[in-house]
Chains A and B, each alone.
Chain A
């Protein structure tokens, strides 16, 4: 008897109203998903940019050719892949993502090969690595040198 009294239509309708009131709370779910996607894409691209800049500064400041290869290879693989991954997250499941996938595959295949070819050619041509201690010039030394050059 108690169960039968529970199945009254008024109670069912009341339950439905309560449920719809809680499930359609004022959360804009598409907007939340879009912000999550934007955050993922932005963080991936920013990490890629970090690697790109690290590689650039390494190519500029490392002492000799064989150490500069490390910096250049890092830029070409991880930095490029992470920037392309961020763009893929931005574009979603479209033809653009397919093209970006092709591009990242080609880059992943060709840039280590090119770096290896450059290193191999330099080694065959007899380029010797710098051995011994090395200290990079500090900014003050570079500035002093530039000031001296400007004065003379």
Chain B
């Protein structure tokens, strides 16, 4: 009985040492996923190129804006994946900045085309513009 318990204790010690080894080894040293990431980046580029079709041929302004917004989101994704491909994650800051700029740009263009000016307070403009033209 005692030999069984001692062997169990030894087994536990071995197991815990293996767990420590798992947390010590870096993932990127074991498996290099940069080729997979490169393929994903190319797929995102293809999807962006397809969206340009809607951007150029959209019948209304709002179709084009929707395409631009989607294009911006895909650009952010492409930047993130490309940072992983080249192994320099510093570019993620640029991706964050681009996401914020994309949102602000969409809102600004929408406001400009709704009110024909950027300085209009929304509470003044809501009931004055284009309501009668419908």
A residues in contact (CB < 8 Å) with B:
3, 6-7, 11-12, 15-16, 18-20, 23-24, 29-31, 33-35, 37-38, 41-42, 45, 49, 52-53, 55-57, 59-60, 65, 68-69, 72, 75-76, 79-80, 83-84, 87, 90-92, 94-96, 99-100, 102-103, 106-107, 110-111, 113-115, 117-119, 121-122, 124-127
Contact = CB atoms under 8 A, between A and B. Distances in A.
A49 to B, nearest CB: 5
A73 to B, nearest CB: 9
Contacts of A20: 10, 14
Nearest to A96: B89
Given A37-B27, A87-B84, 5 more contacts: A33-B22, A34-B27, A96-B92, A99-B96, A102-B96
Contacts of A18: 7
B89 A76 contact: no
A121 B89 contact: no
Contacts of A106: 96, 99-100, 103
Contact of B54 (A24, A59, A126, A127): A59
Contact of A42 (B36, B102, B134): B36
Contacts of A34: 25, 27, 30-31
Contact of A60 (B7, B53, B89): B53
Given A12-B3, A23-B11, A127-B60, A114 B114 contact: no
A117 B114 CA distance: 11
Interface of B: 1-4, 6-8, 10-11, 14-15, 18, 21-22, 25, 27-28, 30-31, 33, 36, 40, 43-44, 47, 50-51, 53-54, 60, 62-63, 65-67, 69-70, 73-74, 76-77, 80-81, 84, 89, 92-93, 95-96, 99-100, 102-103, 106-107, 110, 113-114, 130, 133-134
B134 A111 contact: no
B99 A60 contact: no
Nearest to A39: B31
B50 A124 contact: no
Interface SS of A by simple majority:
helix
Contacts of A72: 66-67, 69-70
A52 B77 contact: yes
Given A18-B7, A96-B92, A100-B92, A59 B99 contact: no
B12 to A, nearest CB: 9
Nearest to B62: A122
Contacts of B1: 3, 6
